[in-house]
Amino acid sequence: MIRRNRAPRYSAAALLWRGARNDSWPRVWRDPALKKSYDVVVVGGGVHGLATAYYLAANHGIKNVAVLDKAYLGSGGSGRNTAIVRSNYLTPEGVAFYDRSLDLYNTMSADLNLNVMFSERGHLTLAHTDSAVRTMRWRAEVNKLQNIDSSVIGPDEIKKIAPSLDTSPNTRYPILAALYHPPGGTIRHDAVVWAYARAADAYGVDMHQKTEVVDVVCEGGDGPDGKGPGAKVTGVRTSKGDISTPVVINCTAGWASLIAAMAGIQLPITTHPLQAAVTEPVKVFLPTVVVSGSLHVYVSQTDRGELVFGASVDPFATYDMRGTLDFTEELAGHVLELMPAVSQMRLLRQWAGLCDITPDYSPVMGFTPVEGFLCDVGWGTYGFKAGPVSGEQMAKCVADQATPDLISPFALSRFDDGVLVGEKGAAAVGH
Neighbours of 271 (CB within 10 A): 18
pLDDT of residue 294: 86
Its sign, for the CA torsion 152, 338, 301, 296, is: positive
pLDDT of residue 7: 53
Angstrom distance (rounded) from CA 136 to CA 131 = 9
Neighbours of 415 (CB within 10 A): 15
The tens-digit pLDDT sequence of the chain (431 residues) is 444 455 555 666 665 666 666 667 778 899 999 999 999 999 999 999 999 999 999 999 999 999 999 999 999 999 999 999 999 998 889 899 999 999 999 999 999 999 999 999 999 999 999 999 999 999 999 999 999 999 999 999 999 999 999 999 989 999 999 999 999 999 999 999 999 999 999 999 999 999 999 999 999 998 889 999 999 999 999 999 999 999 999 999 999 999 999 999 999 999 999 999 999 999 999 999 999 988 889 999 999 999 999 988 898 899 999 889 999 999 999 999 999 999 999 999 999 999 999 999 999 999 999 999 999 999 998 899 999 999 999 999 999 999 999 999 999 999 999 998 877 765 555 45
* Residue at 289: amino acid letter: V
Q: Bridge partners of 177?
A: 127
Alpha helices by DSSP H, listed for 354-386, are none
* Residue at 13: amino acid letter: A
> Which helix or strand (DSSP H or E) is residue 179 part of?
strand 177-181
Angstrom distance (rounded) from CA 43 to CA 244 = 14
**Residue-wise burial string across 205-217, b where 16 or more C-beta atoms lie within 10 A, e elsewhere:** bbbbbebebeebb
pLDDT of residue 2: 44
Q: Bridge partners of 40?
A: 65
In the three-class reduction of DSSP (H, G, I as helix; E, B as strand; rest coil), residue 219 is classed as strand
pLDDT of residue 21: 67
Residue 186 near residue 105, CB atoms below 8 Å: no
DSSP code per residue over 120-156:
E--EEEEE-SHHHHHHHHHHHHHHHHTT---EEE-HH
**Going from the N-terminus, what domains does the chain have, and what CATH number goes with each?**
32-114+189-269+360-427 (3.50.50.60), 123-183+271-355 (3.30.9.10)
Dihedral in degrees, nearest 10, Cα atoms 86, 92, 97, 101: 30
Dihedral in degrees, nearest 10, Cα atoms 82, 87, 88, 91: 120
pLDDT of residue 9: 59
pLDDT of residue 421: 87
Residue in 243, 364, 286 with CA at minimum distance from that of residue 84: 286
Q: From start to end of 220-368, where are the E strands?
A: 232-238, 241-244, 248-250, 270-279, 289-292, 297-301, 307-311, 347-357, 364-367
pLDDT of residue 23: 65
Residue in 349, 344, 383 with CA at minimum distance from that of residue 365: 383
pLDDT of residue 26: 77
> Which helix or strand (DSSP H or E) is residue 376 part of?
strand 373-377
DSSP state of 370: S
Q: Bridge partners of 357?
A: 270
Neighbours of 11 (CB within 10 A): 8
Its sign, for the CA torsion 93, 94, 95, 96, is: positive
Residue 376 near residue 252, CB atoms below 8 Å: no
Upper half-sphere CA count for residue 250 (Cβ side, 13 Å): 34
Angstrom distance (rounded) from CA 378 to CA 363 = 5
Alpha helices by DSSP H, listed for 212-324, are 256-262
Q: What is the separation, in whole angstroms, between the first and last Cα of the chain?
A: 30
Q: For residue 356, what are the CA distances in angstroms to 234, 269, 335, 386, 424?
A: 26, 6, 26, 14, 14
pLDDT of residue 1: 42
Angstrom distance (rounded) from CA 284 to CA 153 = 23
Residue 211 near residue 240, CB atoms below 8 Å: yes
What pTM was estimated for this model as a whole? 0.92
Residue 19 near residue 25, CB atoms below 8 Å: no
Q: What is the CA radius of gyration of the chain?
A: 22
pLDDT of residue 224: 84
